[in-house]
Chain A
């Protein structure tokens, strides 16, 4: 025993391992309580589902030094203002569809998923939809038949037809619109949204 210095002793490191693990786990649990409260829908960083009744923009915030979502004037999705409950139901249908159709094994959402297709975090704001007036129609057409409406920019890599129902398409678009209003600390950077509302 006397030949082993304390810093090489088994017992010292066992205690160290237990203490460090317990401490780090405790800190993570405390931070988790805080973070989960901060990312409830409507708590600020993550919008309420009824945000789909509004125009969403993505603009530079000089204080934070990067772009953040800006919730603007009323601009109901598909021209119909929804109650909070209806909005939640629609976004929920969209989220469920995204999972059941396994979109994340081609696309990334919030940057997580697969790298075969564009990131969908800001898809609602993508300049590819042209302008505010055309967007809902083009998105619906695209999601109903992504092969006929393919862009692929010369790659031929088109999205297969996921056979979404009309309701599922509406749900997916509501979900994408809601997600585009999540405050992601400036990810993606330098993204220029399509022109909206002359603002």
Chain B
């Protein structure tokens, strides 16, 4: 019905509902990645709740499923689901952006299964075998014991091979089709992102050297290459949901890259204050990391300005809402919560306390969970037949709105609770107690710390309810919808 009204300019932004019904093979693959991502998101929450509960009930599962195992599954599920979300997003947009079908779809499909089976085996070994004797064999087969990159070495190699295959798919598709500013940035960024993983793939006795390279992976991922990756996804997403002009998003993307890499690469130094590295990192790390919020402000300005300029007239309200949540979450969680502890004079007391956990939660949730959720909404809309997802949904949008509210309020609440805990800890354990064993427990037993641990659980439950609601909405939104997606006129052609 609505096809008739779609004019030429609009079809640039939106395919017609009839044509949209058939997803390409690459897009169906993307949906599979999203499915695994969401399952792992749920796994992450469950193990977060278990770990959080052990602060309050230390005997809970003691000796069976200890805190270190729960925490390891919690944070690894997170890293993997976010990477799955990014990979899915890229498989989703690559054909649209390149203008040709994905090159090597068979390889891509095989890679998905290899990667997913490897992930499943790793998680099962984490849960069943858990730890090993102090031998290289344990590092190769069970657990590397390095936060976030615990996956054993065999899995590292598998992951690298899968990433190479993925990279081939993406780069070859752009090479066959056309390049753009977004795709060029994306491909270069993927090279850096994958290359950095090698920095985490070796063993050394020397803990300082170990930590030096470990931070290359962790920091240069989340504060450099992942930021640019989501910058690319965001640029594409703004064109699609709002019809923002390509020239504008591309210019913004370059600005963000310049600011992000300009501050984030040497900002790495904020992790080199206390690990044995020379004193010059106190100055370099403090200075450059203090600049890191600037690109994050730029991203907020960009997203909100664009949304406002288009009168918040999007063809996909939930996706736009989550994109805005991403912009603010990134700024608050990474920019503000990172900044408050990034100067060495402050970090000396907050380093490795619940402050860090506070920042870690809001940053990962705000910057990365949000954008994957936004993208899943974009994909679902196409999948369900390019249907209406603006105002006036059958359930009045209750599910997505409540999910959005519960997840974001939960994340913020948990962050505040952990910040209070962190403050008590840095004050009592660090500043007064001098960080001894006894001082550690003095901090853990202050009234406000203990209360904060309860609040963290309460907000964690809120988030979990929000996630269940979100998954429910994913399963139902757009089902049986007969209206075609709203036509977004856009600034002009987006190509």
| Interface set of A (CB-CB < 8 Å, partner B) | 8-10, 13-14, 16-17, 20-21, 24-25, 27-28, 31-32, 34-36, 38-41, 45-46, 49, 88, 91-106, 108-119, 122-123, 126-128, 151-158, 160-162, 164-165, 168, 171, 175, 179, 182-192
Contacts and interface: CB of A to CB of B under 8 A. Distances in A.
A104 to B, nearest CB: 6
Interface residues of B, number: 89
A102 B147 CA distance: 9
B134 A97 contact: yes
Contacts of B227: none
Contacts of B208: 39, 45-46, 110, 182
A110 B214 CA distance: 13
Interface of B: 51, 54-55, 58-59, 62-63, 66-69, 71-72, 130-136, 138-139, 142-147, 150, 181, 185, 203-212, 214, 247, 250-251, 254-255, 257-258, 261-262, 265-266, 268, 271-282, 284, 348-349, 351-354, 356-357, 425, 430-431, 433-438, 440-442, 444-445
B30 to A, nearest CB: 27
Nearest to A167: B134
B274 A191 contact: no
Contact of A153 (B210, B430, B442): B442
Given A14-B181, A100-B138, A116-B67, A45 B276 contact: yes
A35 B282 CA distance: 13
Contacts of B275: 110-112, 182, 184
The 4 closest A-B CB pairs, nearest first, are: A97-B134, A99-B145, A105-B68, A188-B435
Given A17-B185, A111-B275, A179-B207, 6 more contacts: A116-B51, A153-B442, A155-B445, A182-B275, A189-B430, A189-B435
A167 B278 CA distance: 33
Nearest to A159: B66
Nearest to A106: B68
Given A106-B68, A110-B208, A185-B274, A171 B254 contact: no
B437 A128 contact: yes
A32 B209 CA distance: 11
A189 B139 CA distance: 33
A107 to B, nearest CB: 9
Contact of B206 (A16, A21, A40, A184): A40
Contacts of A115: 352-354, 356-357, 425
Nearest to B70: A105
Contact of A108 (B142, B271, B352, B445): B352
Contacts of A114: 67-68, 71, 147
A64 B334 CA distance: 32
A187 B441 contact: no
Contacts of A111: 274-275, 351-352
